[in-house]
Amino acid sequence: MNGLCEIVPLLARVIGSHCEIVLHDFSRLPNSIVAIGGGLTQREVGDPINTFALEKIRAGANEDLINYRVELSDGRALQSSTIFVRDDRGVAVGCICINLDMSHVVKLRDAVSSVARLLGVDDQLHSESELRVNETFPKTVDEVMAEAVSEAIREVGVEPELMHKRHKVHAVRLLEERGLFLVRDAVDYVARELGVSRFTIYNYLNELRGQEVEKA
């Protein structure tokens, strides 16, 4: 990782101000950023990994993701790629994330597409198959956990104070699948948000993992 740490900021400077390159070291989760070049997302060394990457790690980090679209809350459009760094055994030990600010290109494409539609010309510039990802870039570990838990609660569809056990187990299953429990102190955070003890969360996790073993 040390050699990559030196290359990342230099490579970002070569590509230009519209580029950001981030290097994550999974041995330092959750505060895994060990090198960064560019400032598109305003992150720094020591900032945490996001929920999108956590989910990929939990799933085994089997496949690199190249040229997917991310729309930021301020309206900017990024073209992003996540490339996993592997050790001699093929195990993912980190990842390089490349973000390119494509806002001006997207605006130009959309303008040309609008004119093409007015003229009745086939729009060859717009691809509906373009992969879009709902990715955010939190600055703190608490933001990472809050985002993951809020999303899980939305999917369960029941507020924590009204949840029965099955709802809470469902929420924990979602959070486990998305890798949140790779984050230190996540069990305590989830327990507080769901209104149960940390031991209850461990029991839910053991129950879910037991079900996985039975299915296998």
- Whole-number Å distance between alpha carbons of 100 and 96: 13
Q: Cα separation of 177 and 71, whole Å? A: 24
Query: 167 and 98 in one domain?
Result: no
Please state, for a pLDDT cut of 70, what percent of the chain lies above it: 85
Residues 55 and 100 in one domain: yes
Q: pLDDT band at 209, cuts 50/70/90?
A: confident
Same domain, 145 and 79: no
Task: Tell me: do 203 and 151 sit in the same domain.
Answer: yes
**Can you name the residues that pair with 100 across neighbouring β-strands?**
19, 79
Indicate the SS3 state at residue 77.
strand
Average pLDDT over residues 41-51: 95
Is there a single domain that holds both residue 151 and residue 92?
A: no
Residue 74: per-residue pLDDT: 84
Q: What element of type H or E holds 136?
A: none
Per-residue pLDDT, averaged over 129-144, amounts to: 85
Q: Are residues 172 and 200 in contact, defined by beta-carbon separation less than 8 angstroms?
A: no
Domain span holding position 205:
141-215
Confirm whether 135 is domain-assigned: no
199 C-beta neighbours (distance < 10 Å), count? 10
Asked if 149 and 82 sit in the same domain, the reply is: no
Residue 42 included in any domain: yes
Of 131 and 100, more confident: 100
Could you tell me if residue 155 is inside a domain? yes
Whether residues 95 and 14 fall in one domain: yes
> Region 11-15: what's the mean pLDDT?
92
Q: Is residue 39 part of a domain?
A: yes
Same domain, 97 and 151: no
**Continuous H helices in the chain:** 2-15, 51-58, 103-118, 141-156, 165-177, 186-194, 198-215
pLDDT tens digits for range 59-95: 999 899 998 999 888 888 899 999 999 999 999 999 9
Same structural domain, 6 and 97: yes
- Quick one: 18 and 94 in the same domain? yes
pLDDT of residue 125: 46
Q: Answer yes or no: do 47 and 97 share one domain.
A: yes
Among the three residues 45, 76, 104, which one is the final residue of a domain in this structure?
A: 104
Position 75 scores a pLDDT of: 81
C-alpha count within 13 angstroms, C-beta hemisphere, residue 108: 4
- The rounded percent of the chain whose pLDDT value lies above 90 is 72
| Residue 120 forms part of a structural domain | no
User: Residue 55: which CATH number?
Assistant: 3.30.450.20
The domain tally of the chain equals 2
111 in a domain, yes or no? no
